Amino acid sequence: MKIGFDNDKYLKMQSEHIKERIAKFDNKLYLEFGGKLFDDYHASRVLPGFKPDSKLQMLLQLKEQAEIVIAISAEDIASNKIRGDYGITYDQEVLRLIDEFTEYGLFVGSVCITKYFQQPEVDNFIKVLDAHGIKNFKHYKIAGYPNDVAKIVSDDGYGKNEFIKTTRPLVVVTAPGPGSGKMATCLSQLYHEYKHGVKAGYAKFETFPIWNIPLKHPVNLAYEAATADLNDVNMIDPFHLEAYGKTTVNYNRDIEIFPVLNAMFELIAGESPYKSPTDMGVNMAGNCIVDDEACRYASNMEIIRRYYKYLCDQKRTGVNSQEIYKIELLMNQAGITPSSRPVVNAALEKSAKSGDKPAVAIELEDGTIVTGKTGDLLGAASSALLNALKQLAGIDDSVDLLSPESISPIQTLKTNYLGSRNPRLHTDEILIALSSSVVANPLADKALKQIPKLYACDVHSTVILSAVDKDTFKRLGMNLTCEPAYEEEKRFHKN
């Protein structure tokens, strides 16, 4: 994939811009930090060149000035809300984040329990934090939030929240997921800081939508596709247009809440430091796009990937997915169809030529597409993966890296002793078999050494793959999509 984003420029420009924003206030800035800090794979897919940990690296440049507060909603703790990508609850994710931040040398000052109410699960989590010596504070629900501004910005509103004692100029407020109360935490702190005579500031750091590229730019459309379940909509910021005569992009929730925020700022500080939602942001990503066409293409591919995700979700659950209709509209706006993704057509054609057997296509970094179909020894995903490694290693397609004799004992183990009904090797099993052959077969060693080159390659399957195959592609950093169909139409499928 062509590089479209200057990551080094981004790290330098972003950290400098945040320092400038800190200086505009009383050396105290509460920065609402949106999106994923450690593993922003969406950003790396739509902005090729953006490293998944770019935001973390940027923050590390400010680590002597920065303190982290993690906000988590009591409602999410009580309901055992799950973070989908890791499959762990939000309270577990808070503990994981603390470990991650600490390992990188970042200072986690405290955890804020937002919308606190007495519930066994919530109080148990507080006990866990106490046992680990993690400072924690309670913020409460405020009747009339966010519209009753007079009550919110008063001793009966923010005034009832516990004041989080922070020690550094930059307070980064992050969370395990959306809806955790990051903004409310920041504004509550501003109220208390002013009560203590500190004229603190607030800013927002969200990578998307990118404010200084066109509204219908594929990068911004891809953000709408990624948040289709949240019903976010990108919009022209009317406040910025009125104040400065300049067209910028923001999203509906920030634009809708801005008049309320402005009123809160005025009550807290006497005047608002901002004239628009765009003013509140500190994102510099738009200034670091160096190849617009590369980013457009990458973003269009991401929109299609999101489309297939929701198609498969609908197939699995049987529930009509409204997100599908939204992404179809986005694809129409971008002028693309599912077949715009090269691996889709390649996989479907391979399946048709193979008597409608399941097939998988992989697009390599140079644009070469390799395919694989289901056979007696290998599933389509394993076959395509093996063919991709041979192509990358310059090994002729006719060469068998693994002989049937070497595969047969593994099949016997699976079916006779481990209770599997499917004798074909999955992707993880094929990699293990390949690695066990390197001593006797130099070509196997040569093929294995190509694995890093699979990162960010596109994959498409004509059927929904097994959990183990999906997990292998994910671990390899490959971008998988599947047609919304099962290899066998049964009532139960282990996803």
Could you tell me if residue 62 is inside a domain?
yes
Q: Are residues 274 and 356 in the same domain?
A: no
**Residue 273, domain CATH:** 3.10.630.10
Long-range contacts of 127-135 (CB under 8 A, 24+ apart): 128/91, 128/95, 132/95, 134/98, 134/108, 134/110, 135/109, 135/110, 135/111, 135/165
Q: Are residues 47 and 170 in the same domain?
A: yes
Q: Are residues 269 and 369 in the same domain?
A: no
Could you tell me if residue 175 is inside a domain?
yes
Q: Are residues 380 and 478 in the same domain?
A: yes
Q: Are residues 196 and 51 in the same domain?
A: yes
Q: Are residues 269 and 351 in the same domain?
A: no
Give the model's pLDDT for residue 277.
Answer: 96
Could you tell me if residue 11 is inside a domain?
yes
Could you tell me if residue 318 is inside a domain?
no
Count of the separate structural domains present in the chain? 2
Give the model's pLDDT for residue 410.
Answer: 78
Could you tell me if residue 222 is inside a domain?
yes
Q: Which residue has the tokens 């060149």?
A: 49
Give the model's pLDDT for residue 491.
Answer: 52
Phi, psi of 406 (to 5 degrees): -80, -25
From 288, 310, 337, the end of a domain falls on 288
* 33: alpha, beta or left? (left if phi > 0; alpha if psi -120 to 50): beta
Q: Are residues 194 and 46 in the same domain?
A: yes
How far is the CA of 210 from the CAs of 110, 207, 341, in angstroms?
30, 6, 24
Could you tell me if residue 167 is inside a domain?
yes
Contact by Cβ (8 Å): 185, 162: no
What is the rounded CA–CA span in Å between residue 362 and residue 453? 12
**Residue 430, domain CATH:** 3.40.140.40
Q: Are residues 282 and 363 in the same domain?
A: no
Give the burial string for 71-110 (b: 16+ CB within 10 Å, else e).
Answer: bbbbbbbbeebeeeeeeebbbbbbbebbeebeeeebebbb
Q: What angle do CA 212, 214, 217 make, to 5 degrees?
A: 120
Give the model's pLDDT for residue 494.
Answer: 59
Could you tell me if residue 378 is inside a domain?
yes
Q: Are residues 357 and 260 in the same domain?
A: no
Phi, psi of 171 (to 5 degrees): -110, 110
From 288, 311, 337, the end of a domain falls on 288
Q: Are residues 283 and 351 in the same domain?
A: no
Q: Are residues 280 and 354 in the same domain?
A: no
Could you tell me if residue 142 is inside a domain?
yes
Predicted TM-score (pTM) of this structure? 0.91
3-state secondary structure of 359: strand
Q: Are residues 384 and 276 in the same domain?
A: no
What is the rounded CA–CA span in Å between residue 237 and residue 367? 39
Given a cut of 50, the residues of the chain with pLDDT beneath it are 492
For the chain, give the longest Cα–Cα distance: 80
Which residues are CB-contacts of 415 (< 8 A; sequence separation ≥ 6)? 421, 423
Instruction: State the DSSP code for 259.
Output: H
3-state secondary structure of 444: helix
Contact by Cβ (8 Å): 365, 457: yes
Containing structural domain, residue 212: 7-288
